[in-house]
């Protein structure tokens, strides 16, 4: 199908193209993190939270129990997540020729302990080097250009990118990642609360918009590097938002203050389901039509939920899944308690701040609610 070009359509900047490529890499990485993380969580539920140490004590993989085998499978899938980021960032920039160098630089990033950040930067380098080689192939004689896609591009781009990562870019990144890992691995108490509150508040800012995506990107990346605390802060801080709005509607229903329209209150049950599924977009119409009265309670509730997760060093092997992965967290009951604590604060504050509305008023447009309301 021919591409339709709109008049006065703005051309994307190089920064925008690079950011889209990073988001593409993250989107392809998430299924690996979820699959590997959930399997590791199941294994911990079967064989205890310290199953990794038990496996190290056993040594010989032929002597593994079923729980240990499940954990080993999950860990193997998890290890691939960092190379996948690099591969699909390279692919997003340079199409199929960018896959191999992007994957290779992700493997190198794992090897030299540059982790998620190294794979992101390496994937960008791989993509741009591949683009340069593709452009170069158009400027050489036809006999030579035919060798580029099958030999020169994969060999040169993979080799150059990997060497640049190993000797130049990877060294400072590895140093930075070691500092970050050391600081976050055992972070709890007041420091953990502050860090978790920042994540929870960030996830509660624009409900799935650019800010939330940037926060999620960091938390997911740290999860890929084996730092599991930020993922719990992210999920708890994000999930409390739709639940909090629903709690405000429930309070309104019982007090009779009529601060929500009948149409809005008719979405409460659906909103509760979306909250359990970790779908924050339910909050968007309320945020659009009553921005500050909705935003401030969500930020406070998100900071409380995320902060409590950080304070008690709660961990989540999965980065998504809502209530379906709670059982696989380091302390499921704590997660539920912190989730409801933030949501109750959000809901109560939102109800108190919101003013009575015209019962015939229309809700702000939102794809999720439009489908719910038919």
- Asked whether residue 280 is assigned to any structural domain, the reply reads yes
Residues 152 and 243 in one domain: no
Q: Which two tokens stand for residue 348?
A: 């109560």
Are the C-beta atoms of residues 123 and 25 closer than 8 Å to each other?
yes
- Asked whether residue 5 is assigned to any structural domain, the reply reads no
Cα 8 from Cα 297, distance rounded (Å): 40
Report for 4-13, 278-287, 363-372: range of highest mean pLDDT: 278-287
What's the number of domains the chain is made of? 2
- Asked whether residue 56 is assigned to any structural domain, the reply reads yes
Mean pLDDT over 278-306 rounds to 89
Q: Categorize the per-residue pLDDT at 360 as very low, low, confident or very high, splitting at 50, 70 and 90.
A: low
- Asked whether residue 354 is assigned to any structural domain, the reply reads yes
Residues 206 and 177 in one domain: no
Residues 26 and 174 in one domain: yes
Cα 275 from Cα 339, distance rounded (Å): 10
Residues 180 and 201 in one domain: no
Q: Categorize the per-residue pLDDT at 372 as very low, low, confident or very high, splitting at 50, 70 and 90.
A: very low
* Average pLDDT in the chain: 83
Are the C-beta atoms of residues 360 and 315 closer than 8 Å to each other?
no
- Asked whether residue 309 is assigned to any structural domain, the reply reads yes
**pLDDT for the residue 359:** 55
Residues 210 and 357 in one domain: yes
> SS3 breakdown of the chain: % helix, strand, coil, rounded to 5?
80, 0, 20
Residues 143 and 258 in one domain: no
| 91-137 tens-digit pLDDT | 999 888 899 999 999 999 888 888 788 888 999 999 999 999 888 88
- Asked whether residue 2 is assigned to any structural domain, the reply reads no
- Asked whether residue 171 is assigned to any structural domain, the reply reads yes
pLDDT at 365 over 50: no
Residues 118 and 19 in one domain: yes
Q: Which of 18-22, 84-88, 186-190, 307-311 has the lowest mean pLDDT?
A: 186-190
Cα 68 from Cα 102, distance rounded (Å): 31
Q: Which of 8-17, 37-46, 328-337 has the lowest mean pLDDT?
A: 8-17
Hey, which bits of the chain come out as E strands? Answer: none
Domain boundary among 156, 185, 214: 185
| 13-58 tens-digit pLDDT | 888 888 889 888 888 887 887 788 778 778 877 877 678 778 888 8
Cα 52 from Cα 63, distance rounded (Å): 14
**Residue 196 region, left (φ>0) first, then alpha (ψ -120 to 50), else beta?**
alpha
**pLDDT for the residue 366:** 45
Cα 194 from Cα 264, distance rounded (Å): 34
Residues 180 and 203 in one domain: no
Residue 61: burial class (beta carbons within 10 Å; 0-12, 13-18, 19+): exposed
Range of the domain at 215: 191-373
Q: ∠ CA 212-205-268 to the nearest 5 degrees? A: 100
- Asked whether residue 203 is assigned to any structural domain, the reply reads yes
| 57-71 tens-digit pLDDT | 887 888 888 888 988
161-164 own/partner pairs: CB under 8 Å, 24+ apart: 161/101, 161/102, 161/104, 161/105, 161/122, 161/125, 161/126, 161/129, 162/101, 162/104, 162/105, 162/108, 164/122, 164/125
| 206-265 tens-digit pLDDT | 887 778 888 888 888 888 777 888 889 999 999 999 999 999 999 998 888 888 888 888
Cα 303 from Cα 25, distance rounded (Å): 28
| 133-167 tens-digit pLDDT | 888 888 877 777 777 777 888 889 899 999 998 98
Residues 102 and 230 in one domain: no
313 phi and psi, to 5 degrees? 55, 45
Signed CA dihedral, 32, 34, 36, 39: sign only: negative
Residues 121 and 43 in one domain: yes
Cα 299 from Cα 200, distance rounded (Å): 8
Q: Which two tokens stand for residue 258?
A: 């009529």
Q: Which two tokens stand for residue 55?
A: 């496996």
In this structure, the dihedral spanned by the alpha carbons of residues 9, 12, 17 and 18, taken in order and rounded to 10 degrees, is: -160
Return the number of other C-beta atoms located less than 10 Å from residue 85's C-beta: 35
Q: Which of 44-53, 264-273, 334-343 has the lowest mean pLDDT?
A: 44-53
Helix (H) or strand (E) holding 66: helix 66-94
Are the C-beta atoms of residues 129 and 101 closer than 8 Å to each other?
yes
Mean pLDDT over 305-319 rounds to 89
Residues 139 and 240 in one domain: no
187 phi and psi, to 5 degrees? -75, 125
Domain boundary among 185, 211, 245: 185
**pLDDT for the residue 335:** 94
Are the C-beta atoms of residues 271 and 242 closer than 8 Å to each other?
yes
Are the C-beta atoms of residues 103 and 87 closer than 8 Å to each other?
yes
Residues 204 and 218 in one domain: yes
Alpha helix locations (H) across 312-366?
332-353
Domain boundary among 185, 215, 236: 185
């Amino acid at each position: 199908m021919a591409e339709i070009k709109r008049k006065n359509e703005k051309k994307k900047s190089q920064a925008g193209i690079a950011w889209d490529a990073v988001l593409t890499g993250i989107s392809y990485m998430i299924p690996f993190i979820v699959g590997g993380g959930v399997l590791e969580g199941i294994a911990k539920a079967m064989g205890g939270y310290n199953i990794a140490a038990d496996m190290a004590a056993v040594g010989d993989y032929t002597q593994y129990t079923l729980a240990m085998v499940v954990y080993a499978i999950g860990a193997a899938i998890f290890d691939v997540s960092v190379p996948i980021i690099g591969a699909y960032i390279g692919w997003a920039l340079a199409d199929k020729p960018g896959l191999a160098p992007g994957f290779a630089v992700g493997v190198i990033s794992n090897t030299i302990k540059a982790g998620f950040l190294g794979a992101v930067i390496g994937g960008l380098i791989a993509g741009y080097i591949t683009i340069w080689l593709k452009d170069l192939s158009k400027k050489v004689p036809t006999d030579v250009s035919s060798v580029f896609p099958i030999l020169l591009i994969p060999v040169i781009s993979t080799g150059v990118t990997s060497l640049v990562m190993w000797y130049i870019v990877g060294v400072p990144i590895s140093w930075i990642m070691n500092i970050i890992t050391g600081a976050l691995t055992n972070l709890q108490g007041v420091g953990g609360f502050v860090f978790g509150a920042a994540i929870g508040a960030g996830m509660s800012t624009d409900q799935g918009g650019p800010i939330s995506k940037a926060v999620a990107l960091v938390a997911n990346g740290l999860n890929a590097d084996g730092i599991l605390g930020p993922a719990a802060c992210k999920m708890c801080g994000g999930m409390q938002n739709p639940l909090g709005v629903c709690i405000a509607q429930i309070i309104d229903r019982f007090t009779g203050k009529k601060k929500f329209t009948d149409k809005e209150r008719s979405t409460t049950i659906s909103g509760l389901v979306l909250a359990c599924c970790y779908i924050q977009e339910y909050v968007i119409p309320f945020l659009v039509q009553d921005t500050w009265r909705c935003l401030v309670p969500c930020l406070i509730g998100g900071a409380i939920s995320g902060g409590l997760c950080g304070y008690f060093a709660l961990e989540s092997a999965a980065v998504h899944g809502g209530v379906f992965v709670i059982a696989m967290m380091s302390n499921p009951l704590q997660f539920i308690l912190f989730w409801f604590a933030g949501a109750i604060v959000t809901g109560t504050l939102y109800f108190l701040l919101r003013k009575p509305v015209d019962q015939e008023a229309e809700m702000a447009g939102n794809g999720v609610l439009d489908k719910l309301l038919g």
